[in-house]
Amino acid sequence: MTTLEHIKQEIAAHLAKAIGGDIKITAAELVRPPNPEMGDLAFGCFPAAKALKKSPAEIAKAAAAAFPKTEFVREAKAMGPYVNLTLDRPTFAAAVLREVISMGAKYGQSPKKKERVMIEYAQPNTHKEVHVGHLRNLCLGLAVVNLTRAAGSEVVPVSYMGDIGAHVAKCLWCLKKFHAGEPMPENKGKYLGQIYAEATRRVEEDESLKEEVAAVQRRLEAREPDWDELWKETRRWSLDEFAAIFRELGVELERDYFESEVEEPGKKLVRDLVAKGIAETGEKGALIVNLEKHDLGIFLVLKSDGSSLYSTKELALAGLKFKEYPGISKSIHVVDSRQSLYFQQLFKTLELMGFDKKMVHLAYEFVTLKEGAMSSRKGNIIAYEDFRDEVKARAKKETKERRTDWSEERLDETAWTIAEGAMKFGMLRQDPDKPIVFDIDSALAFEGFTGPYVQYAHARLSSILRKATEAGEGGQLFDGAGDEREFTLLRAAADFPEIVASAAEHCKPSVLAQYLFEFAQQSNDFYRDVPVLAAEPDDRARRLAVVRAARTVLACGLQLLGIRAPEEM
C-alpha cells in the first residue's frame, strides 16, 4: 500500500467515526481541494448529509471538531460542506521520500494480480505504406501494455498483420506490370507501399483494370508458383520494414499472427457454423450470421464466391489465440473506432459459438489531416518514415545548437530520444476517443505540452544529481523538516501511483501524459526557486533526495508511455 493510500484509509476511518451514524467512507472519497491553501485532502459531506438528514455544513463542522490528531494529520477544519485536512508536512514528506526512493524504478506499480491479458495491437497490412495513423495505434497499444502490466496483470502482447487479400494482389499486379526489373531502393517495404498507392490510382482512373487485378488475386490464391514466389519475397520486404519500425519504437510482441495462417481454418470454421445453425446463406448468396435480434444487423462471414473476409479469418484467430495461450481471461483489441460495429458483431458471434472470454474492443479515433481523411488515393498520406525523419532532423538541429561539443553519434542518439518523445507524447496526450488532427508544426514542437518538455525536466533534475555525485555525495536521506516547496512536489509525487492505476483501468494513457506534464511544470518551479547544491548541508542532502524522487516519478511515467528519459539533452 502506498503512503497516500494508507493515510486516506486512516482518515476515512476517523471521519466515519467522527460523523457516526454508521456512515461508510472510502479512501476514494478523499480528494484534493481546488486550492492547496485550503488543505491537502478534502472530504465532501453530501452523501453523509443525505443519509443523516442534516445539512452538509453541519456535518462538516461536527466532523472537523471530532477529528483526532494523528501522525499524519495536523488539522481538520470545516469549510462549508467540506472537511479539509491539512497533513503534517514534514512527516508526510519524509514518508513519501522513503517510499519513492525505496521503490525506485518500480514506483507506481501495483502488486501482481492473477490475471493474464492478451493485448492485440500493431495490425499494419503488408504491401501498404505505414503512416501516422499506424503510429497512433503503436503508441497507444504499447502504452496500454505497459500500463496494464504496471497495474499488476500479466500481459501477452501480440500483433495481427494482413499479409493476404485484395490489397496484396493490387500491389503485386502493379509491381509486375509497370515496375519489373526496376532497381530496388533500400527501404523495400516503403517502396511497396508506394506501388500500392500507384496501383490504387491506376485502377481508379481505369475501371477496366479491375479484372486484371482480380485475375492476379485468383492466381495468388491458387498458389501459382511464380506469383507465390513473388508474394513470399515481397511479404518479407514489408515484414522487415515492420520489424525495423517496431524495434525503433520499442514495440515488443510475444507472437505475430498473420491473416494467411488463419484463412483456411477460418473457411472451415465458417462452414461448421452453418452446420451448427449459427450461420446461414444470406439473400445475396454470402454466408451470414443474422444478428438482427441483437440489434447488430447482418454479419458477413464468407463472400458469395467462397473467398474469405476479415471476419472469416478473425473467427479462427480467436480460437487459435486461446488455444496457444490457455490462461488468458481477457482479450483487448486496439483498433480504431471505425471497426466498432464489426467488433460488436464479432464478439457476439464468438459468444454464440460458446466463447466465454472477456473480449474488449479498445476503440480510438484515427488521425486525420486538416484537409480531411488521409487517403492513398489522394496521395496525402503522411508516411511514418518521412514524419520520423523530419522530427528527428529537427531534434538534431535543436540539440546541435545547444551541444556544440557533442559527437555526431551522441547527437544522433539524443535526437532520436527526443524525436521519439515528441512523436509518442503527441499521439498519447489526448483522450483516445478524440480524433487527432495531424498538424506538422505542432507535431514538430518541443515546447509546452510535449514529450520533450517532460524529458527536459528530467534532464535538469539529472543534471543536479550528477553534479552532486561528482562532488562525492550520494544524496543521503534525511527526515529533517522540509520546505513547503519540497512538500508541494512530494505531495504531487504521492499521487503518481493512483494516476497510473486510473490510466490503466480506463486504458487512457492521456491521463498519465497530463499528469506528467503538470509534474514537470512543478519540477521546473522547484529547481528554479529552491537552491539544492548551494543549500546548507542538511537541506542539501534532503533536497537531493527530493530531486531524486521527482526524477524517479518522471522516469517511471515516461517509461510507461514508452518514452525514454534522457540524462542530458
Partner RNA sequence: GCGCCCUUAGCUCAACGGAUAGAGCUCUGGUCUUCGGAACCAGUGAUGGGGGUUCGAUUCCCUCAGGGCGCACCA
Strand 367-369 and strand 372-373: the pairing is antiparallel
| Strand bridging mode 287-290 / 280-281 | antiparallel
Stretch 527-546 residues interacting with RNA (CB under 7 A): 527-534
391 near RNA, rule: CB under 7 A: no
How many residues belong to the site for RNA (CB under 7 A)?
96
Q: Which is nearer to RNA, 175 or 544 (CB)?
A: 544
Ramachandran class of 364: left when φ > 0, alpha when ψ lies in -120 to 50, beta otherwise: beta
Which residues, numbered 181-220, are part of the site for RNA (CB under 7 A)? none
The nearest distance, CB 567 to RNA, in angstroms, is 7
One-letter amino acid of 557: G
Strand 73-79's sheet: what is its strand order?
30-31, 41-44, 82-87, 73-79
User: How far is 569 from 567, CA to CA, in rounded Å?
Assistant: 7
Binding residue for RNA, selected from 20, 36, 285, 327, defined by CB under 7 A: 285
**Interface with RNA in residues 424-443 (CB under 7 A):** 429-431, 433-437, 442
- Cβ burial of 431 (10 Å; 0-12, 13-18, 19+) is middle
CA-angle at 409, arms to 403 and 410, nearest 5°: 40
User: Does 303 participate in binding RNA (rule CB under 7 A)?
Assistant: yes
Whether the Cβ atoms of residue 529 and residue 485 lie closer than 8 Å to each other: yes
161 forms beta bridges with 258
Asked if residue 492 binds RNA (CB under 7 A), the reply is no
Cα gap 220→46, rounded to integer Å: 68
Report the distance separating Cα 364 and Cα 329, nearest Å: 23
Closest approach, Cβ 474 to RNA, in A, equals 16
Closest to RNA by CB, 93 vs 155, is: 93
Q: In which order are the strands placed within the sheet that holds 298-302?
A: 280-281, 287-290, 298-302
- Using DSSP's 3-state secondary structure scheme, residue 177 falls into helix
In this complex, which beta carbon is closest to RNA, that of residue 103 or of residue 291?
Answer: 291
Smallest gap from Cβ 183 to RNA, in A, equals: 30
Does residue 488 come out as left (phi exceeding 0), alpha (psi in the -120 to 50 range) or beta?
Answer: alpha
Q: How far is the CB of 21 from RNA (least distance, A)?
A: 17
Given candidates 22, 186, 205, 305, which one binds RNA under the rule CB under 7 A?
305
Using the minimum distance from each CB to RNA, give the nearer residue, 121 or 155. Answer: 121
**Strand 116-120, strand 330-336: pairing:** parallel
- The answer to the question of residue 374 lying near RNA (CB under 7 A) is no
- Min dist CB 107 to RNA, Å, is 22
Q: How far is the CB of 180 from RNA (least distance, A)?
A: 25
Determine if 380 is a binding residue for RNA (CB under 7 A).
no
Please tell me whether residue 231 binds RNA under the rule CB under 7 A: no
Among 119, 195, 289, 309, binds RNA (CB under 7 A): 309
Under the binding rule (CB under 7 A), the answer on residue 40 touching RNA is: no
In the range 493-522, which residues lie near RNA by CB under 7 A?
510-511, 514, 517, 521
Q: For the chain, how many residues are written?
A: 569
Strand boundaries in 30-103, DSSP class E: 30-31, 41-44, 73-79, 82-87
Read off φ and ψ for residue 367, nearest 5 degrees: -100, 125
* Stretch of 4-12, 235-243, 280-288, 348-356 contacting RNA, by CB under 7 A: 280-288
Q: Give yes or no for residue 410 binding RNA (CB under 7 A).
A: no
- Pick between residue 298 and residue 320 the one whose CB is nearest to RNA: 298
- Under the criterion CB under 7 A, does residue 378 sit at the interface with RNA? no
How many Cβ atoms sit within 10 Å of the Cβ of residue 285? Answer: 12
Residue 111 DSSP one-character state: P
Pick the closer one to RNA by CB: 155 or 520: 520
Q: Determine the interface stretch with RNA among 6-14, 66-74, 165-173, 476-484 (rule: CB under 7 A).
A: 165-173
Q: Does 388 bind RNA (CB under 7 A)?
A: no
The span from the CA of 83 to the CA of 62, in Å, is 9
Residues 251-270 that bind RNA (CB under 7 A): 259
Mapped onto helix, strand or coil, the DSSP state of residue 301 is: strand
* Cα–Cα distance measured from residue 387 to residue 332, given in angstroms and rounded to the nearest whole number: 28
470 makes contact with RNA (CB under 7 A): no
- Residues from 57 through 96 that contact RNA (CB under 7 A): 79-82, 84
Q: Could you give the 3-state DSSP secondary structure of residue 309?
A: coil
**Which residue of 22, 34, 222, 404 would you call a contact of RNA, by CB under 7 A?**
34
Residue 16 in contact with RNA, rule: CB under 7 A: no
Nearer to RNA, 256 or 365 (CB): 365
Mask for 314-353, x = binds RNA (CB under 7 A): -----------------------xxxxxx-----------
Stretch that binds RNA, among 162-170, 195-203, 226-234, 379-387 (CB under 7 A): 162-170
Query: With binding defined as CB under 7 A, does residue 238 bind RNA?
Result: no
Contact 162, 134 (CB under 8 A): no
| Closer Cβ to RNA, 250 or 282, answer by number | 282
Q: What is the DSSP letter of 382?
A: -
Contact by Cβ (8 Å): 42, 88: no
Residue 162 has phi, psi (to 5 degrees) of -90, 100
Rg (CA), the chain: 28
Q: Decide: 157 and 141 in contact? Cβ < 8 Å.
A: yes
Smallest separation, CB 459 to RNA (Å): 4
The least distance separating RNA from the CB of residue 181, rounded to whole angstroms, comes to 29
Per CB under 7 A, the list member of 65, 373, 393, 440 interacting with RNA is 373
Residue 61: what residue type?
A: K
Residue number with CB closer to RNA (126 or 155): 126
Of residues 449 and 487, the one with the C-beta less far from RNA: 449
Question: Exactly one of 118, 459, 492, 504 binds RNA (CB under 7 A); which one?
Answer: 459
Nearest-approach distance from CB 176 to RNA, in angstroms: 20
Q: Which is it for strands 436-438 and 367-369: parallel, antiparallel or unpaired?
A: parallel
Q: Is 449 in the site for RNA (CB under 7 A)?
A: yes
Residue 552 binding RNA, by CB under 7 A: no
